[in-house]
Every structure is written in structure tokens, then in C-alpha cells.
Structure 1
Amino acid sequence: MSQFTVSGRFKSRDGFAEFETTIDAQNENVAREHTLSQFGSQHGLKRSEIELDEVSEQ
């Protein structure tokens, strides 16, 4: 498995909050999906409220 750094922003009460997280995944698409599901469950967000700006392999 490879490590991917995913950055973006999500809708919060004060507008948008930026984030950057590191994910272990098989490829870039799996890293995107894992990030969307993780932030959605942690912050109670829908996928449309999360914007992924960049996914890069480390």
C-alpha cells in the first residue's frame, strides 16, 4: 500500500475549513473515497459538502 496526502476543504459553521490528511490506500481513487467517507462520518457532512483539491502520493 502507498501513502497519499489528501488536501481540501469542507463546509463548517464559519464558512469553509481547510484540511490535510495522510491515508494508506491502494491507489488515488481509493484514497479519495476513504477521505470522503472519513470526513463525512466524523463531521456529519454529505459528500457534496467536501471539496478535495489535491491527492498526491508520498
Structure 2
Amino acid sequence: MSQFTVSGRFKNRDGFAEFETTIDAENENVAREYAYTQLGSQHGLKRTEIELEEVSQ
């Protein structure tokens, strides 16, 4: 497994908040899906409220 750094922003009550997280995943697509799942679960967000800007290894 590789480590990917996923960054972007998500909608909150004050506008948008930026984030950056490191995720262990098999490939870039899995890292994107895990980021959506993790942020949605932690902050009660839908996928449409999350904007992924960059996924790098």
C-alpha cells in the first residue's frame, strides 16, 4: 500500500474549510473514495459538499 496526500476543501457553516489528510491506499482512486468517506462521516457531509483539489503520492 502507498501513502497518498489528499487536499481540498469542504463546505461548513462559515463558508469553506480547507483540509489535508494522509491516507494509506492501493491507488489514487481508492484514496479519493476513502477521503470522501472519512470526511463525510466525521463532519456529516455529502460528497457534493466536498471538493478534492489534489491527490499526490
Interval of TM-score (by shorter of Structure 1 and Structure 2): over 0.9
CA distance in 2, matches of 1:54, 1:45: 19
Identity of aligned residues (%): 82
- Compute the TM-score of the two structures, normalised by the length of structure 2: 0.99
- Compute the TM-score of the two structures, normalised by the length of structure 1: 0.97
Q: CA deviation at 1:9?
A: 0.1
Following TM superposition, where does structure 1 have runs of at least 4 consecutive aligned residues deviating by more than 4 angstroms?
none
CA distance in 1, matches of 2:7, 2:29: 14
Q: CA deviation at 1:16?
A: 0.2
Per-residue CA deviation, residues 1-48 of structure 1 (Å, 9 max, x unaligned), is: 000000000000100000000000000000000000000010000000
**Matched length:** 57
Instruction: Give the aligned CA root-mean-square deviation in angstroms.
Output: 0.2
